[in-house]
């Protein structure tokens, strides 16, 4: 997938109406000290392209987090763990979660993802970044 100007940066796609996903984005923005991660909602133009590509590759589309980095998609628990690793610092320690077999990690991830609206709620529209953060989001 080609996104001009962003091909070498990790891009985190998230459910823009999910309060839990938005909190995760806020946490990443605050703790990504290198400022390397950029963001886009899955509802955005680029998010729709990602979903089309994932349908081709996997037949289904995760609806909460997708990380695209170095021409590779990370989905479900792998997206969250790889994002934590990229944030660096103490957050990188969460990447030790990769030692847990994927079927276990993803079962927990899927359970949370299935219940995220019930537990955390949802917004009526995707978040709009502040002018200071706009450069960290893909243009729509």
**What is the three-class DSSP state of 109?**
helix
Residues of the chain with pLDDT under 70: 4
**What residues does 73 pair with on adjacent strands?**
68
The C-alpha atoms of residue 20 and residue 122 are separated, in whole angstroms, by 8
Whole-number pLDDT of residue 87: 94
The C-alpha atoms of residue 67 and residue 81 are separated, in whole angstroms, by 10
**Is there a contact between 52 and 26 (Cβ–Cβ < 8 Å)?**
no
pLDDT in tens, 53-88: 999 888 877 778 999 999 899 999 999 999 999 999
**pLDDT confidence of residue 48:** 92
Reduced to 3 states (helix: H, G, I; strand: E, B; else coil), residue 73 is: strand
Number of Cβ atoms within 10 Å of the Cβ of 52 = 12
Structure tokens at 81: 């763990």
Give alpha helix (H) positions in the chain.
Answer: 19-31, 45-58, 76-87, 102-120
What per-residue confidence (pLDDT) applies to 4? 66
Determine the pLDDT at residue 47: 92
Q: Please tell me the distance from the alpha carbon of residue 101 to that of residue 42, in angstroms, as a whole number.
A: 27
Cα pseudo-dihedral 26, 33, 84, 38, rounded to 10: 60
């Amino acid at each position: 997938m080609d996104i001009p100007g962003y091909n070498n940066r990790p891009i985190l796609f998230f459910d823009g109406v999910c309060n839990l996903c938005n909190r995760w984005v806020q946490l990443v923005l605050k703790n990504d000290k290198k400022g390397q991660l950029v963001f886009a909602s899955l509802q955005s133009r680029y998010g729709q392209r990602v979903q089309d590509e994932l349908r081709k590759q996997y037949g289904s589309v995760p609806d909460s987090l997708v990380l695209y980095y170095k021409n590779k998609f990370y989905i479900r628990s792998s997206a969250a763990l790889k994002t934590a690793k990229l944030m660096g610092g103490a957050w990188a320690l969460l990447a030790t979660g990769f030692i847990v077999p994927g079927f276990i990690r993803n079962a927990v991830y899927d359970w949370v993802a299935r219940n995220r609206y019930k537990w955390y709620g949802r917004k009526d529209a995707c978040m709009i970044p502040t002018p200071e953060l706009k450069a960290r989001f893909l243009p729509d």
